Amino acid sequence: MSIVIRNVSKRFGDFVALDDVSLEVEGGSLTALLGPSGSGKSTLLRIIAGLEWPDAGEVELSGEDATALRPQKRNVGFVFQHYAAFKHRTVRDNVAFGLKVRRRPKAEIRERVDSLLQLVQLEAFGHRYPAQLSGGQRQRMALARALAPDPQVLLLDEPFGALDARVRAELREWLRRLHDEVHVTTIFVTHDQAEAMDVASQIAVMNHAHVEQVGSPTELYDTPQTEFVMRFVGEANRLGDRWVRPHELEVLDRPEAPSRR
Amino acid sequence: MTTESLRARVGRLTVRSIALAYLLAILVGPLAMVFWRTFETGFDAAWNALSTPETLNAFKLTLLIAAIAVPLNTVFGVICGLAIVRHDFPGKGFLNAFVDLPLALSPVVVGLSLFLLYGREGWFGGWLEEHDFQVLFALPSMVLATVFVSLPFVCRAVVPTLREIGDEQEQAASTLGASRWQTLWRITLPSIRWAVIYGVVLTTARCLGEYGAVAVVSGRVQGQTETATLRVEERYDSFDVQGAYAISLVLALIAILVLIAMTVLKPKETTA
């Protein structure tokens, strides 16, 4: 269930998407890949899923080399920003897809789909088509679909990016609860630092095709190792040539010798 | 301002009348004429003209050729569309341009080129003759000619739909454990089915109406290698105008059916 990325590089024409990136993700953890657009975070996620091939480097899933495996052999669940719902299939059929292609017995499929629809609170919508669902409902359906074949890894590519703020907050909360219940190793990509801090237990901050720092939200906030992390994660102000967090500032009503440093 | 609105109305009316007049003169008039002439001397005469063994055979041959050419071009068109939209390979631009060639090339030229290939003096002609396999003046060359002229329609109908649906659904299917074959049958083909059907309808219409290329390669042996369109001309040349009109009418009716099928299918373009 653990994921190891070793010295992975990827370019698209002249654009360098990933430059010698290494990252380890513990089994059962909930990790965020955080960075501005174009930092390579989605590409890294797609390489883990097998949807892109790295130019160099290795991907290990559960201790086994998966670099050359096709996506269908990797047993990962992938959730796309724009849902990638199968438009010509009902909600039930969408969720059942991964089980049907594995030729599971019908009774088992029915049972599993029922319990997943319950998990994502779409029991009443099984016979609708994706076009008849709201954005939030479609993304929950996509999550159920990704979870159906019991993947060892769940990958989410800006899963809440296309939703409005209220639904986004709701689904965030819901994803964290889901992870507490299901315990599947989860990586999600986001450019929203508040979302990453709120949901993830570990965050990898990416910038310009590199991983800048990996750590818990607290570590990133309290001990940023680069100026980029300082500025991107949490609030920061520039004082002279230093960056400081708002809570590190003390406003005095009369001049005094500095108390700290 | 009343003069403004009046002018706009006159403008609209002019545009409409021009369009309608053009349509009447070019399309509706001649078609009505065919209809009129067919039944001029009564229904029985038209029926008799249609039920001669030669004419029946011509319709059978036309349908048989379409029954072979349409499935062939459907499979090729879907493969070709997938190759153009989903894959990158050297020569892709060439393929993309080449698919349209039959639209630009005169069917007579197609017929002549088949002659040059399969004729007695042609590249394959000698070999075929040795093995006693008749291509020219027989069904194979007529099918080849029809396949050629009706080649682009399925591919051209499928390409924009494939572009529009994108490949995210296919990627999702592959992460869910579907093989390429399963993805094709369960996701891609169902998503483009309306475009495929639309292409098939167009291909069928083109196959049934083909004249020029088939005229060159068939040899026009009555009751053997004469298709419905060739039969129309033969009847006309034999001063059997009634017969020519009757066959034309059946072909026109088939075309109208195809048109109805197209109108029913076409609005299914975008569903959120």
Same domain, B137 and B76: yes
This model of the complex carries an ipTM of 0.89
- CATH code for the domain in which residue B154 is found: 1.10.3720.10
My answer on whether B105 and B196 are in the same domain is yes
pLDDT value for B124: 82
A72 interaction partners in chain B (CB closer than 8 Å) = 174-179
Task: List the domain range (segments joined by +) for residue A32.
Answer: 3-227
Q: Is residue B203 part of a domain?
A: yes
pLDDT band at A258 (very low <50, low <70, confident <90, very high): low
Asked if residue B34 belongs to a domain, the reply is: yes
> Which chain A residue has its CA at the smallest distance from B169's CA?
A84
Number of domains in chain B: 2
Query: Do B16 and B113 fall into the same domain?
Result: no
Q: Mark which residues 213-252 of B lie under 8 Å from A by CB.
A: none
Nearest by CB to A82, from B168, B175, B186: name it: B168
Nearest to A149 among B172, B176, B187 (CB): B176
CA B184 to chain centre: 26
B172 touches chain A (CB under 8 A): yes
Q: How many separate helices (H) and strands (E) can be counted in chain B?
A: 17, 0
Together in a domain, B72 and B24: no
Chain A nearest C-alpha distance from B96 (Å) = 23
A–B CB contacts, 8 A cutoff, strictly below: 68
**Domain extent for B237:** 46-265
- Whether A248 is covered by a domain: the verdict is no
Establish if B270 belongs to a structural domain.
no
Residue B193 lies in a domain: yes
pLDDT at A79 over 70: yes
Q: Do B117 and B222 belong to one domain?
A: yes
Under an 8 A CB cutoff, do A86 and B177 touch?
no
Q: Report the first-to-last Cα separation within chain A, whole angstroms.
A: 45
Do B54 and B28 share a domain, yes or no?
A: no
Q: How many domains does chain A have?
A: 1
The pLDDT of residue B134 is: 82
Q: B145 with B31, same domain?
A: no
Distance of residue A240 Cα from the nearest chain B Cα, in angstroms: 48
Interface residues from chain A to B (CB-CB < 8 Å): 49-51, 70-72, 74-78, 80, 82, 84-88, 97-98, 101-102, 131, 142, 145-146, 148-149
Distance, CA of B97 to CA of A97 (rounded, Å): 37
Scan for tokens 């009902």, then name that residue. A90
Option in B172, B178, B186 nearest A84 (CB): B172
How far is residue B17's CA from residue B24's CA, in Å, rounded to a whole number?
Answer: 10
How do beta strands A185-190 and A153-157 pair? Answer: parallel
* Contact check, Cβ <8 Å, B175/A88: no
Q: Are residues B83 and B27 in the same domain?
A: no
**Would you call B177 and A72 a contact, using CB atoms and an 8 Å cutoff?**
yes
My answer on whether B58 and B100 are in the same domain is yes
Of A87, A88, A98, the CB nearest to B177: A98
**Domain presence at residue A124:** yes
A16, A46, A172, A223 from A21: Cα distances, Å: 12, 14, 27, 21
Chain B's closest residue to A134, CA to CA, is: B272
Q: Is residue A137 part of a domain?
A: yes
Residues A10, A41 contacting (CB under 8 angstroms): no
- The larger pLDDT score, comparing residue A1 to residue A191, is at A191
Residue B149: per-residue pLDDT? 94
The minimal CB distance from B174 to the residues A71, A80, A88 is found for A71
For residues B72 and B32, membership in a common domain is answered with no
Residue A71 maps to a domain: yes
Interface with A, mutate which of B162, B170, B175, B184 (most A CBs under 10 A): B175
B230 is a domain residue = yes
Rounded mean pLDDT, A139-152 = 94
Query: How distant is the Cα of B259 from the closest Cα of chain A, in angstroms?
Result: 26
**Residue B39: DSSP 8-state:** T
* A199 within a domain of the structure (yes/no): yes
Record: contact A75-B177, CB cut-off 8 A: yes
User: Does residue B272 lie in a domain region?
Assistant: no
Here the CATH number for the domain that contains residue A117 is: 3.40.50.300
Q: Which of B168, B171, B176 sits opposite A145 (nearest CB)?
A: B176
pLDDT confidence of residue B271: 43
Distance CA B150, CA B208 (A): 10
Give strand pairing partners of A167.
none
Chain A touched by B175 (CB under 8 Å)? yes
DSSP-assigned letter for residue A89: S
Residues found in chain A: 261
Question: Are residues B16 and B147 both part of a single domain?
Answer: no
The answer to whether residue B271 is domain-embedded is no
Residues in chain B: 272
Q: Is residue A258 part of a domain?
A: no
Confidence (pLDDT) at B127: 81
Mean pLDDT of A187-200: 92
Residue A238 lies in a domain: no
Pair type for strands A64-65 and A3-12: unpaired
For the stretch A7-39, pLDDT in tens is 999 999 999 999 999 999 999 999 999 999 999
Top residue of A12, A74, A88, A147 to mutate, by most chain B CBs within 10 Å, is A88
B175 and B222: one domain? Answer: yes
Q: What is the 3-state secondary structure (H, E, C) of B140-169?
A: HHHHHHHHHHCCHHHHHHHHHHHHHHCCHH
Mean pLDDT per block of 10 residues along chain B (272 residues) reads 81 92 90 86 85 92 95 96 92 89 91 86 80 86 94 94 94 95 95 92 92 90 90 91 90 87 66 40
Q: How far is A146 from chain B (nearest CA, A)?
A: 7
Average model confidence (pLDDT) for chain A? Answer: 92
* Chain centre to alpha carbon of residue B73: 10
**DSSP H or E run through A77:** strand A76-79
